[in-house]
Amino acid sequence: MLSLKKRDSDKGLILIAANRRQLSAYVGELSKAIEEKIESTWPGPVTWILPCLEGTPDLLTGGRTTIAARVSSHPPAVELCLRCNHAIVSTSANLSGQPASTSAAEVEEIFSGDVSYLLDLPLGTLDGPTPIFDGTSGKQLR
């Protein structure tokens, strides 16, 4: 996927899940204050940068000691995670540095048949990318 998007591996990726249990193999211990903040935003379109467990692949973390994670409320994403029975990688459908695609037709055009299967389902309701919060400070990063 990174080579398809022409994305540097040190950027890391976002994991999305149907529930907190699906993130338990990746996310480390959290303070009570951050737990409360996360609980107020999940499930929902909010990504948190959280401490990761030792051994979490660098492909996911970008070589950091943190991981970007979200428990989704978007029905198609939740259903996909439930059917896979684990968290999945989430990334925008674009070439790195380019605007995100907003339709299956755009994705098909950009990747010119390099994608083996395209799941054409409704997008979420946000006008842009999900907000990202720092799991240590609680501050919004994006």
The confidence score (pLDDT) of residue 123 equals 87
CATH code: domain of residue 80? 3.90.870.10
Structure tokens at 32: 């009570």
Q: How confident is the model at residue 84 (pLDDT cuts 50, 70, 90)?
A: very high
Domain membership flag for residue 42? yes
Residue 78 has pLDDT above 90, yes or no: yes
Domain membership flag for residue 138? no
Residues 6+ apart with CB under 8 A from 112: none
Can you tell me the mean pLDDT for 123-133? 90
Would you say 38 and 131 are in contact if contact means Cβ atoms under 8 Å apart?
A: no
Can you tell me the mean pLDDT for 20-37? 96
68-77, 86-95, 119-128: segment of lowest average pLDDT: 119-128
For residues 91 and 80, the model is more confident at: 80
Residue 40 host element (H or E): helix 32-41
What's the whole-number average pLDDT of the chain? 94
In Å, how far are 31, 104, 126, 136 from 122, measured between CA atoms? 35, 10, 12, 33
Q: How far apart are CA 66 and CA 141, in angstroms?
A: 14
> Tens digit of pLDDT for each residue in 1-10?
788 898 899 9
* Identity at 140, one-letter amino acid code: Q
Q: How confident is the model at residue 75 (pLDDT cuts 50, 70, 90)?
A: very high
**If you write DSSP's letter for every residue of 59-110 in order, what string do you get?**
HHHTTSSEEEEEE---HHHHHHHHHHTS-EEE--SS-TTSPPP-SHHHHHHH
> Tens digit of pLDDT for each residue in 56-70?
999 999 999 999 999
The confidence score (pLDDT) of residue 1 equals 78
Can you tell me the mean pLDDT for 36-61? 97
Domain membership flag for residue 137? no
- Domain ranges, residue 13: 2-132
Q: How confident is the model at residue 112 (pLDDT cuts 50, 70, 90)?
A: confident
Domain membership flag for residue 140? no
Domain membership flag for residue 20? yes
- Domain count for the chain, please give it: 1
Domain membership flag for residue 141? no
